[in-house]
Amino acid sequence: MRGPHNIWRLIRTGATFERTGAMSVALEAMDVPPRLRLVARVMGWPFKWLGYKGDPNLPPVTRAITALGPAYIKFGQVLSTRPDVVGPELADQLRVLQDRLPPFSIELAKKSVAEELGRPVEELYSEFSEPVAAASIAQVHSAHRADTGERVAVKVLRPGIERAFRKDLDAFHFAASMIEALSPASRRLRPSDVVKHFEGVVMGELDLRLEAAAASQFDANTKDDAGFTVPHPVWHMSARRVMTLGWAEGLPLGDVEAIKAAGHDVVALSERVLQLFLSHALRDGYFHADMHQGNLKVAKNGDIIAYDFGIMGQIDEYTRRVYAEILMGFIRRDYRRVAEVHFEAGYVPADRDVTEFALALRAVGEPIFGMNATQISMARLLAYLFEVTERFGMQTRTELILLQRTMVVVEGVARSLNPAINMWEVAHPIVEKYIRENLGPRAALRDMGRTLAVLTHFGPRLPVLLNDLLEAQAVKEAPEPATKSRMPIWATLAGLGVLAIGFGLGLAL
């Protein structure tokens, strides 16, 4: 479908951005190359009258995006996780982008639930309310289960949303390919990769079984975290277009005055929300990547409740260790070690000078440590860090960008509860514990044991693999094709020895 017919959609998009005044703001924020700016203005300005007017009370970019509909709203929200693409200021604006869409009727919602779950709504739920929240992809209803009486949240996809998103995704892919063709300089922004990333996020959110699975996985990871709760999915009441979760009963984390009035310790809550996020990111490598006040509540017993698992972040174990070492290096102000970690991880090209890089990192860290507790910002340091690494040739890593963006959000949540919070003092024990458990001698032995345990699976094939290797070497060195021979006894014994050692260590560790 990615063809010229999408030009009309792009013209309508450009016209809306021109009419709302968002075009110049967006192009400036993203530092778009001049040639591409010209193309964008040409596609928008002559057709300005075709653009949607939008809500004049909104800032230009959010006004344009909300006027263009659900796919654009979701795209704006996902772009808020990519300050490397849209710039930090525009990312902040997009982060608070609201889903200003009217709910669809309760009759359509009930029909969708009955079709997906194969039973009338009245048999499944004793009560089923009007929509309590409406977003770009789905809306939420409060309900009570007919079998247990438990209060639950029922999330239902908008009718026809899958088709609408497919059409707009098609246009986004077409636009990305046009951008890369017209302006090679824009490839540093990786527009096609950004659209693919967005497509992956949206496809996951359009299948609510995947969001239920994310909730289930997050709940399993965090079940022993004190003061933290995740609603349980109700699997037999969930399907592709419908998801039922336990109800999150509590005060919105953004309502600080109500939280104080209820007698909760806002200082303890501010520290806990930051430490929980770092624990999930470092310990589990699986974190809530949309952890703003709208997705967090405080229960009567003081627990923090997280919900809405449409955007989750994942980091592999090696990247977690690198990230922890970088954070600890800054905490200890050991900039040489921070620089070395970047080189060891291959984040910065080996032909750059590690001493110069360490000096650049010192210029990032020292001014921040000179600030008082109310000014010290881990998010600001990470933003500066990405600026420096980009200058030294570091390639963009999507998982780290998502982590940085979530860190910015979580820091904002913590400071809204306690403006005087010292982010580094709160983070220190979590990072130090992770490093102690994962970067010390015991961790090295554990890693070796895992590696050797994996190698033991190749035990039955080891003699054959060694024989093939020796034959290949013999064929390479011989002037004439070598005849097939039996494996030397020393090779067989060596292979069996490695296998035995690996098996023993695997069992021991």
pLDDT digits (tens, 9 = 90+) for 224-241: 999 999 999 999 999 999
Across the chain, mean pLDDT equals 79
Treating both helix axes as pointing N-terminal to C-terminal, what angle do 423-438 and 398-417 enclose, rounded to 10 degrees? 140
Question: Which class for 346: exposed (0-12), middle (13-18), buried (19 or more C-beta within 10 A)?
Answer: exposed
Query: How many other CB atoms are there within 10 angstroms of residue 318's CB atom?
Result: 10
Residues 6 or more apart in contact with residue 178 via CB below 8 angstroms: 10
Question: Catalytic residue positions?
Answer: 290
Distance in angstroms (rounded) separating the CA atoms of residues 501 and 432: 33
Distance in angstroms (rounded) separating the CA atoms of residues 258 and 158: 33
3-state secondary structure of 459: helix
Query: Looking at the DSSP assignment, which residues form a beta bridge with residue 141?
Result: 131, 154
Which of 56-70, 278-292, 368-382 holds the top average pLDDT? 278-292
416: left (phi over 0), alpha (psi -120 to 50) or beta: alpha
pLDDT of 195 above 90: no
Residues 6 or more apart in contact with residue 471 via CB below 8 angstroms: 482, 484, 485
CB 135 within 8 A of CB 101: yes
Mean pLDDT of the 113-120 span: 95
CB 271 within 8 A of CB 421: yes
Assigned token pair, 181: 């063709």
87: left (phi over 0), alpha (psi -120 to 50) or beta: left
Distance in angstroms (rounded) separating the CA atoms of residues 409 and 414: 9
Which of 131-140, 415-424, 497-506 holds the top average pLDDT? 131-140
CB 501 within 8 A of CB 456: no
3-state secondary structure of 229: strand
pLDDT of residue 117: 95
Give tens-digit pLDDT for 14-68: 788 888 877 777 777 666 667 666 766 666 667 677 778 888 888 888 888 888 8
Residue 194's nearest CA partner among 84, 96, 309 is 84
Query: How many other CB atoms are there within 10 angstroms of residue 355's CB atom?
Result: 9
Residue at token pair 């580094």? 424
Strands 125-134 and 242-246: unpaired
Mean pLDDT of the 104-119 span: 95
**To which H or E segment does residue 314 belong?**
strand 312-314
Fill in the amino acid letter for 307: Y
Residues 6 or more apart in contact with residue 261 via CB below 8 angstroms: none
Q: C-alpha distances in angstroms, 416 versus 69, 135, 255, 412, 420? A: 31, 24, 9, 6, 10
Q: Residue-wise over 358-373: b if at least 16 C-beta within 10 A, else e?
A: bebbeebbeebeeeee
Strands 138-145 and 125-134: antiparallel
pTM of the model: 0.72
CB 67 within 8 A of CB 16: yes
Distance in angstroms (rounded) separating the CA atoms of residues 176 and 169: 10
The domain segmentation of the chain, as residue ranges, is 4-99+169-177, 251-439, 443-508
Which of 100-104, 224-228, 457-461 holds the top average pLDDT? 224-228
